[in-house]
Amino acid sequence: MTSTAGRTWQDDAKDYWRGVRGEFASGKRKFTIIKPQPLAHERIPLLEAEIVRLKAEIDSLRAAKTGGA
């Protein structure tokens, strides 16, 4: 899998980690927390629940806007 102009994802990963190590060395970042990501099939219900929550929040904001104005 090639990302850009003959570079592989391994090249991109090396550059990314070089940047992270550079941040550690320069003192910009004290630590990095990498949260484990759920697998794709586990993410779908989480995203659906988030969509429902956001729709409810939008509806409540719309109701507050029309009720208050």
Are residues 1 and 22 located together in one domain of the fold?
A: yes
Compute, in degrees rounded to 10, the torsion defined by CA atoms 21, 9, 39, 17: 0
Contact call for residues 38 and 46 (beta carbons, < 8 A): yes
Please give the Cα distance from 15 to 13 (Å, whole number). 5
The pLDDT assigned to 3 comes to: 46
Are residues 12 and 27 located together in one domain of the fold?
A: yes
Domain that includes residue 1, residue range:
1-34
Are residues 69 and 40 located together in one domain of the fold?
A: yes
Are residues 30 and 40 located together in one domain of the fold?
A: no
Checking if the pLDDT of 65 tops 70, the result is yes
The tens digit of pLDDT for each residue in 5-59 reads 677 777 777 777 666 665 555 556 555 666 666 677 777 888 899 999 999 999 9
Are residues 41 and 67 located together in one domain of the fold?
A: yes
